[in-house]
Structure 1
Amino acid sequence: MSLPTPATTPPSATPAHRHTPPVVDNAPPTCSKVTGGLAALACAACCAIPLLITAGVLTGAGAALLEQTLLAVAAGLAVAALGMWWLHRRRSAHRAAASGGSTSGCGGGTCGC
């Protein structure tokens, strides 16, 4: 009579299905990182305006116009970066829920939204 070896387990002891939770990507995408970097660059350029006035590169009127433009551009880029990150997280969570294979929620087609 032969005994089972410790390396093998009987088929009834192994689980038939292992459920792994879906992974949601929370990291910001590359386009959001680039847009955020450009917003920071516009903000840094806005902070450099007094140095440009002192150096004689800009006049008072030019500096006022440049300051307002750079502030608007920096704010717009920051909002765009945050919007892209939010959209990336939303799509990633939706993909993870759809691939989860559960019978409830959006993945199983029984979404109550």
Structure 2
Amino acid sequence: MAVIEWTDFTRVDLRVGRVLAAEPFPAARRPAYVLHVDFGPEIGVRKSSAQITVHYTPEALVGRLVVGVVNFPPKQIGPLMSECLITGFHDADGAVRLCVPDGDIAPGTRLL
């Protein structure tokens, strides 16, 4: 594992966001949803593709808090321009579980 400096970590802008909408993304190569996530007034609403279909339904995602990287450049994923990266962890079976805040944190709050 490579050791990084604190300044390397601080360059990654991780923010709390609230999922406003989630819908299936049939054009994705692997099963995924398109998430519309509100990262607060400074950043606004961003779209992302998330391969989280095993443990979550679109209806269950709306209103949930997530943690996203908001300073990666946009990435074209099929017909979608993904504007952030929603974070998660692979479980023992390889399916993704979301990385979420512990408690009600305001959208836009930065991880320190």
- In the superposition, the TM-score normalised over structure 1's length comes to 0.22
The higher radius of gyration belongs to: 1
Q: Report which of the two has the higher share of helix.
A: 1
Which protein is richer in strand relative to its size?
2
Q: TM-score, normalization: structure 2?
A: 0.22
